[in-house]
Every structure is written in C-alpha cells, then in structure tokens.
Structure 1
Amino acid sequence: MPARKFDGQVLRAARRALDCSQDALGRSEGVDVNQSTIAGWESGGFPQPERLPALARALRQPLDTLFPRDGLPDLADLRADAGYTQRSTGALIGTKSYIPVSNAERGVRRLKEEFVPRLAEAYGVTEAQLLAAQDRSFGISPAAMPAPRTLAEKLTYLLETTFPAGRPTDGQIAAAVNRFAGVEVVSASAVKALRTGTPPPSEVLAGLAAGVVLEGLADFFGVTPLFFQSDEDLERQVVDAIGLLAVRASSEDFALAARGGQDGLDPAMLAKISAIVAEARQQKAGPR
C-alpha cells in the first residue's frame, strides 16, 4: 500500500478548482503523462509515488495537504517525495548502479556511510532523518532505536514523532521560541544550526546557557525541559538530590521511620530511600 493517501476525486477537485484541463495537468513539469493517464488516476488508478510532488506543485497545493501520509517515511518514501525514481539514484550516490539504494529500501543491505550525506542532500532532509527512514525500511520501530543523545538528535526525533506530516519550518520554531521568551533569542538559521548539529551563533549559545532557548523549545514541542538536558547534567542533579537527602537525614527533625505507613511514604519507597541514605552516611564516614 502506498505511504501517501491518493484519492482520484481529490485530484479532480483540485484540478477543476484551478480550471486546469486533464491534458494541461498531464503536460505539467514532472508529471509528463497523457490525458488518458490523468483520467485513469481520477477514476481509481494510482500514479507512481515519485510523481506526487510534481502533481502537488502543478495544482499549487502542499504535498502533505493534497496527499497526506500515514505514518513516518521510509527510504522509498523520501525518494518519492524528492521526485526521484529508484533507477535514478545511482547518479545521486555517485555510482553506476541504483542497486545500493534498492537494497536499502528493501531492507536487504544498509547504505554505505559515504552514500548517506549524498542522498540526504538530494532528498532535502538531514542525515539523521535519512538514517531514521532507513531504520524504518529495515522494520526497526522508533521504540527500538537508540535514544537520542545530542540536541540535534533530540530535535530530529521530536520533529519526526510529533510532526510526521506538515512539519514546522525552522522559522516557525524560532518564532514560537521567541514568543515564549518575550524577546528575540533565536533566528531561523540558528534553529537550523541546532537541528543539524552545526555551531550556532554566539547569542544562541548564551541563550542555551541561560536555559531560555531550551525552555522555549520544550514549550513548543510539549515536553519537559529535562528532555534537552545532557545525561551528565541529569546525573549531577540526581547526585545533588541524594546528597541533600543525606544531609536532611542526619538532622534530628528528619525522622524517616516515622513518615512511613498510611500517612507517609510507601514502605517499599521508604526502604529504598533509607538504603540510599545509609550508603551515603557510610561513604561520608569513610572506612573504619
């Protein structure tokens, strides 16, 4: 089943709204079919997926609006969205054969590392998005993928999982972050830098240090700001919290035992906390 929804009646309605004949639509750049083919598509046929972008351009509508997608794209979907046939991909990766791309699309053999940036540029996506699409071609679900670690990986992950179709532009993301901050703290080009992992402008680095940019991104994507913090930052917070707990446990007015039961902490949770506090006390006291 094609990844994008195609409805001949929708195609006919969009064509008629522009007062465009079937013959004229067929002669549009990138469509290149005769009138009878257009008539067949409108009557229940289905065009090759790589022709859908040209049809959307000819009908002056966004691709995701005219032909919405079910789910996230795999490698074949990215190729079709860029308007390429599979046989044309050999030139894109700098080889005489399209077989490497065909194998990757069919989940037979992954792309060589040097092919990834070439295809990503040709398809108009980031390398992270291309690799995620390749994982889907191999049947790997997002839940089975390695957790995103860098800021660029996290932004790509959120864009793919939160906006599978009709993703916001870098400018729209920047505008949302600036509205959250109440002042211009980031530009479209700076968002692109963060998303692709390239060095952002110095003013954005200052905003990252202050936390306002990350807070604005978290607000836009609907996640906690902790999502954007590094593992090292989160680990430091946990260590600090345990240290504070140990300090409080050493004071006379912090009677953990008296806090258990119906009106206090769950007994299992109390036991875990007590064990942590005991270990912290032992480490503080040192070897005997």
Structure 2
Amino acid sequence: MSPRRFDAERLLLARREEGLKQSDVARVVGVSAARVSAWETGRSVPDPEKLPRLAEAVGRELDVLFPREGRPDLADLRADAGYSQVATRELTQTRTQGPVAAAENGQRRLAKEYEQRLADAYRVSVAVLRRAQERSFGHDVPEPDETVATDVPPSEVTMLPETIAGKITYLLEQLPTPLSDAQVAALGNSRGRTQLLTEELVRGLRTGAVVDASDEALAVLAEALDTTPLFFSSGDPGVQRVIAETLVLRNQVAAIAARGGEEEGLSTELLAFINKEVSKASAEAVALRDHPSSEETS
C-alpha cells in the first residue's frame, strides 16, 4: 500500500494562504473545526478518504498537497475517491463491505460483477482497478506507460504474478479490448479446437476460487490470451523473466505502432525481425526446458 503523505504544516499554510478559517475547511470536509485544528497541530491524522475533500477545501491539487510515492492499491483508489470501506456496500450492493475488504486485504479477489461498479465510482478504468487489486495481493504491477530503466539488471525487472489468478488478470490488462470470461472460454476452445474451457472454469481461475487446472486446459487458456503455455506451467525464474520481458517488449512495440513511429510507424522489416527473435527465444526456452544441458543435470 502507498498511502498519501499527510503534512500538518502544509495544510495549515495552504489554509492561511487562501484566507480561510478552520470552520470554513471543516464545513467542506464535513467535520468539526476542532477536528481540523487537531489535524493542523498534529494531534491526529485524517482518514485517507478525507484527504480529497481536504485538498479541495484549501484549493490545492490532491497530488500536490498530499503526494504519494509508489503505485496505488485498491484501498488507495477508494480513499482517493472519498469512500470509506463501509460506504462501498452501496457500490457493490451487498449487505456488508466484505467483498471490498477481502480484496483490499489480499484475501479474495473482487467478483467481476463488482469491477465496473467500483471502477466507475473510483473514476478509473477497470484495467486500472485490476492493476491496483494485484498490488493489494502483493504484486507490484507497473502501469502500461511506465518504462523500465535501461540500467536495471535483468534480475530486477518486474516479475510476473505468481498465482494463476494474478497471471490471468495481468494478461487481460494487456489485451487491446476487454474480454469476458465467456469470451475467453469460447476463444480458447476455438483456437485449440476443443471444449476444455467453460465460462465457470475461467471465472474460477481468474478470481482465485479455482487454484489449478490441467495442463491441457491451461494451454488452451494461453491460446485465448495470446501467450505461451509456459506462462502458466513453468515456475522457472529464468523462463518467467524472459516471458515478462517479452510482454513488456510487445507492449512497447504496440505503443510505438499506435503513435505511428516517427513518421509511418514500424516498418515491415522491423516487425518481421522482432517476431523472428521472439519466436527463436521461445523455441530456445522450450528446448532448454525439455532437454537441459549436462551441466544443469549433473
């Protein structure tokens, strides 16, 4: 979790610069003037969901007055939208805040039916919500527009999620258009010419309700999500790193193509070279897995 940094002195100075009384700020935030006084003197700290209204009350941008270092998780998105955890019951239309609390605590992922409702309330996309959810589960997933520094050693490149549910969520976020569980199942069965996937199985694997499946089913799932079966079946750190870096490269290439490159986008020759190198690397990874060298087996 990367909560925003509250600074009592900065709040006090911002209020005075705007010529506001503590009661003026209290009225906007919905608290007493005594509570604002306690915040400004450092006797207490406001709840995270109070910070957006507090910044608004003193005429400051939220990111400027209360900056955050790092990427937000689910609790951070909720707080930035001004919701307490209890208030999310109305968003999910459930009797308790259990679904949101479980996801924020990294215990159980949100049901798909809640994702769009929460994303709309938090004023973010479903993809952003899903990335924040992965961070609540301990996976520091980067944003698509973030680049990896060239001087970062390969071993420090962001790794893939460890669970099948996390991997599925990660892959879904890479797709140009969102796919439902039913669409994923149908697409995989069509490409694999089989009927191994069902909407219920895909949903169970995506939400973590089902933690494992046969190698055949995972291979069909990989087909649906445009990746290699090794994405799900291999636990080798080296293989996982290669796949992670390949996915980053694919997204960067897609971004360049979307911008049109320098003038007319990526050339046919460059695309062919990239595809050739990716295919060659994948073949070498499979060969290494199936036929390890004598040094590795000795």
TM class, shorter-length: 0.5 to 0.7
* Aligned residue runs from structure 1 range 165-184, under 5 A: none
Structure 1's 215 and 32: CA in aligned 2 closer, same or farther, altered over 3 A? same
Aligned counterpart, 2:98: 99
Aligned counterpart, 1:108: 107
Aligned counterpart, 1:131: 130
Q: What secondary structure is seen at the aligned counterpart in 2 of 1:36? A: helix
Q: What secondary structure is seen at the aligned counterpart in 2 of 1:79? A: helix
Structure 1's 55 and 233: CA in aligned 2 closer, same or farther, altered over 3 A? farther
Aligned counterpart, 2:181: none
Q: What secondary structure is seen at the aligned counterpart in 2 of 1:87? A: coil
Are residue 50 (structure 1) and residue 86 (structure 2) matched?
Answer: no
Looking at structure 1, the residues matched to 102 and 70 of structure 2 have their Cα atoms a distance apart, in angstroms, of 22
Unaligned runs of 5+ in 2: 142-157, 162-169, 179-253, 279-283, 285-298
Looking at structure 2, the residues matched to 118 and 212 of structure 1 have their Cα atoms a distance apart, in angstroms, of 29
AA at the equivalent of 1:150: L
Aligned counterpart, 1:68: 67
Deviation at 1:136, TM superposition (A): 0.5
Are residue 40 (structure 1) and residue 38 (structure 2) matched?
Answer: yes
Aligned counterpart, 1:150: 175
Deviation at 1:9, TM superposition (A): 0.2
Aligned counterpart, 2:82: 83
Q: What secondary structure is seen at the aligned counterpart in 1 of 2:261? A: helix
Aligned counterpart, 1:201: none
Structure 1's 27 and 215: CA in aligned 2 closer, same or farther, altered over 3 A? same
Deviation at 1:2, TM superposition (A): 6.6
AA at the equivalent of 1:120: A
CA contact (8 A) 1:23 1:35 kept: yes
* Aligned residue runs from structure 1 range 257-272, under 5 A: none
Aligned counterpart, 1:11: 11
RMSD: 3.4
Deviation at 1:61, TM superposition (A): 1.1
Looking at structure 2, the residues matched to 126 and 239 of structure 1 have their Cα atoms a distance apart, in angstroms, of 30
CA contact (8 A) 1:2 1:49 kept: no
AA at the equivalent of 1:23: S
Are residue 20 (structure 1) and residue 20 (structure 2) matched?
Answer: yes
Looking at structure 2, the residues matched to 119 and 233 of structure 1 have their Cα atoms a distance apart, in angstroms, of 44
Q: TM-score, normalised by structure 1?
A: 0.54
Q: What secondary structure is seen at the aligned counterpart in 2 of 1:33? A: coil
CA contact (8 A) 1:50 1:84 kept: yes
Deviation at 1:23, TM superposition (A): 1.3
Structure 1's 20 and 214: CA in aligned 2 closer, same or farther, altered over 3 A? same
Q: More displaced, 138-147 or 58-67?
A: 138-147
- Deviations along 1:12-46, whole A, 9 cap, x unmatched? 00000111011111111xx1111111111011121
CA contact (8 A) 2:115 2:126 kept: yes
Looking at structure 1, the residues matched to 269 and 34 of structure 2 have their Cα atoms a distance apart, in angstroms, of 62
AA at the equivalent of 1:15: R
Deviation at 1:150, TM superposition (A): 3.3
Q: Rg larger in 1 or in 2?
A: 1
Aligned counterpart, 1:261: none
Deviation at 1:215, TM superposition (A): 2.7
- Equivalent residues, number: 175
Structure 1's 141 and 99: CA in aligned 2 closer, same or farther, altered over 3 A? same
CA contact (8 A) 2:9 2:40 kept: yes
CA contact (8 A) 1:88 1:98 kept: yes
Looking at structure 2, the residues matched to 50 and 241 of structure 1 have their Cα atoms a distance apart, in angstroms, of 48
Q: Percent identity?
A: 41
Deviation at 1:240, TM superposition (A): 6.7
Deviation at 1:239, TM superposition (A): 6.0
AA at the equivalent of 1:50: E
CA contact (8 A) 2:12 2:40 kept: yes
